[in-house]
Amino acid sequence: MNKVLIIIIGMLAFLGFSCQKEADLKKVDYYITGLTEAYTVVYLDQDGNSVSTMVNPTGLSYKWIKTFQMEPGSPVYLYAKFTDNDVDLTMKFNFGILVNGKYEYQAKANDKVTYGIDTIYEVKRSGIVPLD
């Protein structure tokens, strides 16, 4: 009798786990626009790897975009470092992480400024892909 009960409980547990719906992937866009001079970008890809790249915009309307399909709960991270002194003069600067077309993490100005020979601006946003 105990063996039959254990087998039934095991089968119910197996069915319960196998019927769980997998989380739908979400479209994640890393987005930067409104810079005219070269800048460094660091971001996390869909596998959680840190990727660093140098971007050379072709003008003020240039849009840098990276798109991934990511699972809910995945970490997202976007960082940019630049010396573009015109960033304070333009309303076109936009920096953000979009999930399914909606801004989850956004900046319209820099987070940090370091003064020296060149003025260095830094912007960083991080979080997770929403679970809902």
User: Is the predicted pLDDT of residue 14 greater than 80, yes or no?
Assistant: no
Q: Out of 16-20, 53-57, 86-90, 124-128, which region has the weakest mean confidence (pLDDT)?
A: 16-20
Any idea which residue has 């996390």 for tokens? 44
Q: Which residues pair with 80 in a beta bridge?
A: 41, 123
DSSP state of 52: E
Q: What is the DSSP annotation of 14-48?
A: HHHHHTSPPPPPEEEEEEEES--S-EEEEEE-TTS
Query: Of 77, 22, 23, 21, nearest to 46 (Cα)?
Result: 77
Tens-digit pLDDT profile for residues 34-59: 888 899 999 999 999 999 999 999 98
| pLDDT for residue 60 | 82
**Local confidence band at 129 (pLDDT 50, 70, 90 cut-offs):** very high
Domains and CATH numbers, the chain: 23-128 (2.60.60)
Amino acid present at 102: K
* pLDDT exceeds 90 at position 70: yes
Residues 79-100 pLDDT 10s: 999 987 666 555 788 899 999 9
What is the pLDDT of the chain when averaged over all its residues? 84
